[in-house]
Structure 1
Amino acid sequence: MQNQIDSLLIQACKKGNQVAQMQVYDNYCKAMFTIAYRYLNDEESAKDAMQEGFLKAFTNIESYKPNATFGAWLKRIVINQCLDVLKKQKLKFSDAEVEDLELIEDNNWNFETSITKTDILKAIDQLQAKHKIVVQLYLIEGYDHIEISEILNIPIKTSRTHLSRGKATLRDLLKPKYNEARY
């Protein structure tokens, strides 16, 4: 039923119906703000990025194809808008620092059951910016390394390295929480 309502709203948006656009905005603004805030850690910047994302979505709504949900399509636009903001802030994803590294594949993202999702999200916020973004794109948004490399315009090896370093730092940040829970 919800997909059918969304489909009707999107069709109305494609015809330029501003009431439908406001309804879509109301339906998705909280989720998109949460995503933007997760990347930018600043309420005003997150609001701006979210609103820019909606503007881009409504401007380019003709390119939306229902092979993915509208929410997923919009989410990608908002994430890209956040990444543009971060790039303007001079966040550099250099592959020079990873050229000679041997990469170990480690797909184990299991944490102790005493560590909550909130603990993990707080720890992610403490990561270096480039590691944080790759960890968020991979772990939270579900992108693979090929997609991350395309989104950030970096080599796949750089994505893997930033993920690996971010994961190692996360484990270090969460060790005190785990040890605290054991007493």
Structure 2
Amino acid sequence: MELTATIVQDELVERCKRGDPTSFEALYQRYAKAMYNTSLRIVNNTGDAEDVLQEAFLDAFRSLNDFHYRSTFGAWLKRIVVNKSINVLRKRKMHLSELDENGMEEIPEEKGVDEADIQFKVAEVKKCIQQLPDGYRAVLSLYLLEGYDHEEISGILGITHNTVRTQYIRAKQKLVNLLKQGGLS
């Protein structure tokens, strides 16, 4: 069953490469919601996420001949969406503080927060994630929700691995604190 979906997907991409207008629409419908949600988790603004979605599809459709099935079309498109979302944050002057080696001593290792005692609904967690500063939210979303590792995030954001690690730790701590406070910022 899964193999069939991949073959159909590849056929759809191939029809798009040949310029079939109905295939463009079908490909858009297949991926638009997921790509919008990916962008929204990073940029935290519906207008920006809609813009990213449209620009990402335009770029993908213009560059279809550069897509050679080294990954799935969805993974390729997601990479475009993530990069465009990060560019939106950069335009907003997302603050990701670079740390020197001395600064690393000031950051404690993750404390054993009793997260098992904290039981919140998904909506409350999403609300608290939206309250995080852009840099924290971007790193946390890319790591926890999009599945990128710290090295990949470092490359995407153009920051050091240590900065990614630090931003992730701080984002997680701030998120836990927001959840403990009932989502109040």
Contact kept, 8 Å, 1:94 with 1:154, in 2: the verdict is no
1:138 paired to 2:143: yes
Distance 1:86 1:46, change over 3 A: same
Q: CA deviation at 1:142?
A: 0.6
Give 1:108 deviation, angstroms. Answer: 9.0
- Distance in 2 of aligned mates of 1:60 and 1:23: 17
Q: Which structure 1 residue ranges, 5 or more long, are not aligned? A: 178-183
Deviations along 1:90-146, one digit per CA (max 9) or x if unpaired, are: 224231477521363689996547322222222111111111110000000010010
Which residue number in structure 1 is paired with residue 73 of structure 2? 70
Unaligned runs of 5+ in 2: none
Decide whether aligned partners of structure 1 residues 111 and 130 sit closer, same or farther in structure 2, where only a CA change above 3 A counts: farther
In the aligned structure 2, how far is the partner of 1:62 from the partner of 1:107? 50
Q: Distance in 2 between matches of 1:92 and 1:79?
A: 17
State the partner residue of 1:39: 42
What is the distance in 1 between the residues matched to 2:114 and 2:82? 23
Percent identity at matched positions?
A: 37
* Residues 1:128 and 2:150 aligned together: no
TM-score normalized by the length of structure 1: 0.85
What's the counterpart of residue 150 of structure 1?
155
Q: Which of 89, 93, 101 is the aligned partner of 1:86?
A: 89
Question: CA 1:161–1:113 in structure 2 vs 1: closer, same or farther (change >3 Å)?
Answer: closer
For residue 17 of structure 1, the aligned residue among 5, 20, 45 is 20
| Distance across 2 between alignment mates of 1:34 and 1:7 | 23
Give the corresponding residue for 1:180.
none
Q: Which amino acid aligns with 1:120?
A: V
Shift of 1:73: 1.6
Q: Partners of 2:112 and 2:69 in 1: how far apart?
A: 31
Distance in 1 of aligned mates of 2:34 and 2:121: 21
Q: Who is 1:29 aligned against? A: 32
1:168 corresponds to: 173
Paired residue secondary structure (1:93): coil
Structure 1 residue 15: Cα displacement: 2.2
Post-superposition Cα deviations, 1:3-40, rounded to whole Å, max 9, x if no partner, equal: 22111001112223222111101111112122222222
Give yes or no for contact 2:12–2:23 (8 Å, CA) kept in 1. Answer: yes
2:104 maps to what in 1? 101
Q: Describe the shift of the 1:161–1:107 C-alpha distance in structure 2 as closer, same or farther (beyond 3 A).
A: farther
